[in-house]
């Protein structure tokens, strides 16, 4: 399933993207299909209700077109744990020794914008950069999770743009990674049953159609399972938590000359089996 959150008129809801019907409608209202049991996707995950949703939408007709809704963040993670230097070529381009353990940092939920919404270049910096990443959405709580059991705790996957303000990041990673409206997540969550192997996803980041980053998730230094297991050693993981797995080589800061994001740029994070997260850049 492709799970999304949206606003239609004054109604905030969530749904499932399906094959369009004869009228072009391709969103099943998940809240209606489940008789209002789950108000949000967060509630679906907290209830462990993905199987219920899959059953409920089987005979539910789509009622909306994706083109007529305002897309929202699929969910607002209470924890978003991101990882630095987790592709070998990226570690090399930033002069980092290959890390023996994952290097985690946190992002705030209000630093993220919805699919299609504007990424904001802050007025205090012109060094606004892009980072395309595969993100993992937790579906089952756990602590001290074994790598071999990590897949059972994953609800699904989505795209993430870890937008970064590099000059501030040099002084403080938390500051550089958490400017308001600097990153994005979405466009939907693809449930784990539809991703045969998360190590075989192809990731591309495009700026105005030009490919800037391209890699396979099989090139991760620390695998998806390792990241889930390691994170669970220092914090309990809960449904709706998100782990961003790191970005490949090709960031703007390491190009000659540097390629900083500018107003009017369209950033696309394209991951095979998931979809395309698209946002335009504006000035604050």
Q: Are residues 115 and 250 in the same domain?
A: yes
Confidence of residue 133 (pLDDT cuts 50, 70, 90): very high
Q: Are residues 184 and 259 in the same domain?
A: yes
Q: Are residues 110 and 251 in the same domain?
A: yes
Residue where one domain finishes, among candidates 72, 104, 120: 72
Per residue in 79-132, pLDDT tens?
A: 999 999 999 888 888 888 889 999 999 999 999 999 999 999 999 999 999 999
Residues 61, 21 contacting (CB under 8 angstroms): yes
Per residue in 134-145, pLDDT tens?
A: 999 999 999 999
Q: Which residue range is the domain that position 167 belongs to? A: 80-283
Residue where one domain finishes, among candidates 41, 72, 103: 72
Q: Are residues 30 and 95 in the same domain?
A: no
Q: Are residues 44 and 92 in the same domain?
A: no
Q: Are residues 55 and 87 in the same domain?
A: no
The predicted structure's pLDDT at residue 264: 99
Asked whether residue 240 carries a pLDDT value surpassing 90, the answer given is yes
Q: Are residues 35 and 115 in the same domain?
A: no
Q: List strand residue ranges (DSSP E) for 163-259, in order.
A: 164-165, 183-191, 202-207, 210-216, 242-244
Q: Are residues 261 and 277 in the same domain?
A: yes
The predicted structure's pLDDT at residue 94: 87
Per residue in 182-237, pLDDT tens?
A: 999 999 999 999 998 999 999 999 999 999 999 999 999 999 999 999 999 999 99
The predicted structure's pLDDT at residue 194: 97
Residues 75, 6 contacting (CB under 8 angstroms): no
Number of domains composing the chain: 2
Q: Are residues 126 and 225 in the same domain?
A: yes
Distances (CA, A) of 188 to 15, 80, 280: 10, 16, 18
The predicted structure's pLDDT at residue 95: 86
The predicted structure's pLDDT at residue 89: 86
Q: Are residues 158 and 180 in the same domain?
A: yes
Q: Are residues 49 and 146 in the same domain?
A: no
Of 215, 99, 122, residue with least CA distance to 169: 122
Find the length of the chain: 284
Total-model pTM: 0.96
Per residue in 242-283, pLDDT tens?
A: 999 999 999 999 999 999 999 999 999 999 999 999 999 999
């Amino acid at each position: 399933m492709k799970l999304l959150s949206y606003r239609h008129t004054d109604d905030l809801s969530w749904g499932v993207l399906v094959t369009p019907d004869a009228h072009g409608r391709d969103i099943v209202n998940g809240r209606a299909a489940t008789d209002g049991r789950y108000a949000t996707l967060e509630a679906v995950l907290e209830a462990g209700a993905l199987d219920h949703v899959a059953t409920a939408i089987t005979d539910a007709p789509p009622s909306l077109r994706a083109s007529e809704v305002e897309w929202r963040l699929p969910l607002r993670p209470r924890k978003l744990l991101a990882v630095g230097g987790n592709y070998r070529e990226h570690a090399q381009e930033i002069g980092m020794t290959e890390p023996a353990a994952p290097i985690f940092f946190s992002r705030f939920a209000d630093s993220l914008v919805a699919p299609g919404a504007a990424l904001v270049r802050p007025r205090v910096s012109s060094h606004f950069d892009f980072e395309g990443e595969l993100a993992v959405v937790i579906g089952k709580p756990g602590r001290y999770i074994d790598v071999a059991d990590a897949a059972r705790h994953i609800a699904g996957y989505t795209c993430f743009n870890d937008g970064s303000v590099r000059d501030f990041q040099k002084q403080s990673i938390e500051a550089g990674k958490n400017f308001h409206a600097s990153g994005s997540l979405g466009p939907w969550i693809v449930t784990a049953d539809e991703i045969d192997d998360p190590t075989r996803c192809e990731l591309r980041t495009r700026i105005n159609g030009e490919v800037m980053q391209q890699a396979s998730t099989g090139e991760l230094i620390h695998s998806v399972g390792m990241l889930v297991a390691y994170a669970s050693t220092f914090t309990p993981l809960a449904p709706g938590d998100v782990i961003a797995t790191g970005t490949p080589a090709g960031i703007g800061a390491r190009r000659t000359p540097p390629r900083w994001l500018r107003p009017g740029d369209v950033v696309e994070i394209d991951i095979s089996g998931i979809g395309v997260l698209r946002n335009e850049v504006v000035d604050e």
